[in-house]
């Protein structure tokens, strides 16, 4: 066995009724042979009768070689190494929970394997000294890794093979698991035709930016009058959206007091890099048009 192979969890075999992620290897008359991805690819079998609640007309439509499936453990013979599984007894809720746990476990596995390869140490040794102790204490090593980004005390009491591994682990966790800020944007039209309309619009936009917090700074910028956009970067999408909604309320209240109006063209939402690039092109185009207008005015004066 390679030194960089290891099961994800402390138990060598899954428990009965445990929901696991499997990969389909072969389809036979009796059912499907699978490997349990979280348990170092040990072999199991999903019997034909456990593939579906409905009558099976074509086994290929129910299960395909090479595809990952969620299955529940029916029987485990630890002496012979036999594991029987069921696909038909898995609920929609089981699938969601299993997917979440499997993705967490894959991330932990990747981080520990990186350290094992860099320091030429058995991956199982790192699980024994770091991964599994953290799982016992925090429910899952992934949750402990996430906490460690802001709290280095998470690793106290662990006994890794050497301190250099722990330092590399902290660095790699920070690089892999630090959340990326999400861009949230809203587009609004703000206009006021009163005597001090321009000042009223400026005041409304300042009110919009006043809802900023230490972690989330709201910015209001002109696209092309009367169109403006509000933007904020947030680690939490819902919090960012709620902040921009509050910002728009501030604009509406302020501008309507001065006889103006605010129309929402695009409600607050997370925007993609492509949408950001389109906005940048629009701003550049408007800036170019303004410069050309200025040049035309200078020529007229001449």
CATH number at residue 83: 2.40.50.140
Distance CA(112)–CA(98), nearest Å, equals 21
Q: Tell me: the pLDDT tens digits for 55-109?
A: 666 666 678 899 999 999 999 998 888 899 999 999 999 999 999 999 999 999 9
Establish if 239 belongs to a structural domain.
yes
* More confident of the two residues 195 and 209: 209
User: Does some domain include residue 83?
Assistant: yes
Is 6 inside a domain boundary? Answer: no
CATH no. for residue 236? 3.30.70.1130
List own/partner pairs for 29-37 with CB under 8 A and 24 or more apart.
Answer: 32/59, 32/63, 34/69, 34/71, 34/85, 36/83, 37/68, 37/102
Least confident of 117-121, 247-251, 252-256, 289-293: 289-293
Same domain membership, residue 251 and residue 206 = yes
pLDDT grade for 131, boundaries at 50, 70 and 90: very high
Same-domain pairing of 159 and 220: no
Most confidently modeled range among 179-188, 199-208, 284-293:
199-208
- What's the pLDDT score for residue 289? 54
pLDDT at 61: 67
Q: Point out the domain boundary residue: 177, 208, 243.
A: 177
In a domain, 54, yes or no: yes
Q: Determine the average pLDDT of the residues in 261-281.
A: 79
- Give the CA diameter of the chain: 97
Report pLDDT for 44.
95
**pLDDT value of position 128:** 95
Residue 209 has pLDDT above 60, yes or no: yes
Q: Are residues 42 and 118 in the same domain?
A: no
- Cβ atoms of residues 36 and 154 within 8 Å: no
Say what percent of the chain tops pLDDT 70.
86
With a cut of 60, say whether residue 293 has pLDDT above it. Answer: no
Instruction: Please tell me the pTM assigned to this model.
Output: 0.64
pLDDT of residue 280: 66
92-119 and 141-148 are packed helices; what angle lies between their axes, rounded to 10 degrees? 60
Residue 118 is predicted with a pLDDT of 93
- 241 in any annotated domain: yes
Say what the pLDDT of residue 285 is. 65
User: Over 70: is that where the pLDDT of 29 sits?
Assistant: yes
pLDDT confidence of residue 49:
85
Domain hosting residue 249, numbered range = 182-271
Sign for the CA dihedral angle at 98, 103, 106, 111 comes to: negative
Q: Are residues 135 and 153 in the same domain?
A: yes
Structure confidence at residue 1 (pLDDT):
42
Counted domains in the chain: 3
């Amino acid at each position: 066995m390679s030194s960089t192979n290891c099961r994800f969890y402390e138990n060598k075999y899954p428990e009965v009724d445990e929901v696991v992620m499997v990969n389909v290897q072969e389809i036979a008359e009796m059912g499907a042979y699978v490997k349990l991805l979280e348990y170092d690819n040990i072999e199991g079998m999903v019997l034909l009768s456990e593939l579906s609640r409905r009558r099976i007309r074509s086994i290929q439509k129910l299960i395909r070689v090479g595809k990952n499936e969620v299955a529940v453990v029916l029987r485990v013979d630890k002496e012979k190494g036999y594991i029987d599984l069921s696909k038909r007894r898995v609920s929609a809720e089981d699938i969601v929970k299993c997917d979440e746990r499997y993705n967490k476990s894959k991330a932990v596995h990747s981080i520990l394997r990186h350290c094992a390869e860099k320091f030429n140490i058995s991956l199982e040794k790192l699980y024994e000294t770091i991964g599994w102790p953290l799982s016992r204490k925090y429910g899952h090593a992934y949750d402990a890794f996430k906490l460690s980004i802001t709290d280095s005390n998470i690793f106290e009491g662990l006994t890794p093979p050497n301190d250099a591994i722990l330092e590399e682990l902290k660095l790699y966790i920070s690089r892999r698991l630090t959340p990326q800020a999400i861009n949230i944007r809203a587009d609004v039209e703000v206009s006021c035709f009163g005597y001090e309309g321009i000042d009223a619009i400026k005041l409304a936009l300042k009110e919009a930016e006043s809802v900023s917090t230490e972690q989330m700074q709201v910015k209001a910028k002109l696209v092309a009058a009367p169109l403006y956009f509000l933007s904020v970067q947030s680690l939490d999408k819902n919090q960012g959206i709620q902040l921009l909604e509050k910002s728009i309320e501030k604009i509406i209240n302020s501008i309507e007091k001065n006889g103006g109006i605010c129309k929402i063209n695009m409600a607050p939402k997370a925007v993609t890099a492509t949408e950001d690039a389109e906005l940048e092109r629009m701003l550049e185009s408007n800036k170019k048009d303004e410069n050309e207008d200025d040049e035309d005015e200078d020529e007229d004066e001449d």
